[in-house]
Chains A and B, each alone.
Chain A
């Protein structure tokens, strides 16, 4: 194992302790629950509470996007494992300003159960909590509502955070997040497994020199495994799934995210981005805004994913809306 940790049973707590110390300008741990990262500004008067969350191991996803005009809190689970119902509920208590809260997370069975239980606990206290589950991973199922959420989380969370910051009510924020989700499609490729820091083992087996097209961010199997190919060819294949799925068509405007799964360098990401841009240009799809880097990772996994979100005027405005968090800022 090539991971820098102490006791394997302490990895999440020690990461959170370090994170909140390093970014104390933005966030702190909720006093009654060490798994809830709360914005220093929360609860924000007159604003719907935006609560994101999921398992650890996808940093900067979740905790890195807590701050001004983005998420008010992130609920953090064990590695690759959803947080507990109590923590989901505690996040509501930490950020609710009387306008209700929106839960946003990737669509995984564990997350659905725990966040639903958290919402039930909030409902008993008379606090309204709505939910939008991100389902952007095109190859995870034919049925859109069964799909998993991957790097598209970032776009959906950003849109919801901005809409809430503009003072919209809970139904409007939810509608904006649902639109963002409906317009977002992602797919990735893995070149290696990730190392589970507690077991010290890879979370699944993968031979050096292989790649798996369409693999999920917890190592869920993709569409096929093959020998590693050149970047352009890999991007072409991924785009051949993403583009017809929505479909994205000539005249559309999109936001592009080329995301590292953890260990793929920016050099490779930009080589991939170059090909994404070429393909979109050929198809007459205009790129409005691009993001390249680690946004939703799987610890030390080598690989990358491509996400497109089709934009309209509202989504453009929400994507561009200023925000300030430890891992994402727009001025």
Chain B
């Protein structure tokens, strides 16, 4: 009997690396005013296009260099993280709530509910997502909340599809039938029996969705549709860096690395969390 209780695998290096980066980025974003070495908006044309610290001509205090207006790149990245994380959390949670609820209903009840929801998902997914997002923000107006709403409106289908399929698989299991025989109501079975078995997937998707939200926010900022104020955003910095790539490559490269690391970490973190939430895989 004892070998069945296999020793729990320790926290995997994947989880450490991904979680470590996310924690670092999150803390930096939260305490941005304290940790940022410079004011992210302070322009100084005397300090324009300073290179990062290991190159000749770097100024102390401007670790990753400055952009064409002399603003400190590291500080801008740290402050840009604030918006990235707010969007990531808010949009992913909104997306998850809408998509998972509809997916659960569609997968568990089947029949008409499933047919209607699935058709809506099909039609929804036929729109190119980025175009859809740009269109939505153009209609809703720029601003933090419209970016969040746009992401939820576009991406709920991702949750809906996956959770529907998982729910359908679980609903065919004998334990669901057993609960029917025992006299549980349908909604009770859906919430108490099926939902716990779908949670690992929801958690993984939630983390993945945070990464996607970061990308979408960056794309919208890149096309200048995100937050209309002067607040630095990763997408906005990338857009500026693109223009000055030949004079100051770092303005493009560092935000890109930050973005990629963050998105990758979210998806890896989700995968690792999934295995920890699953009683069978754990």
A binds B: no
Name A's B-contacting residues (CB within 8 A).
Answer: none
Name B's A-contacting residues (CB within 8 A).
Answer: none
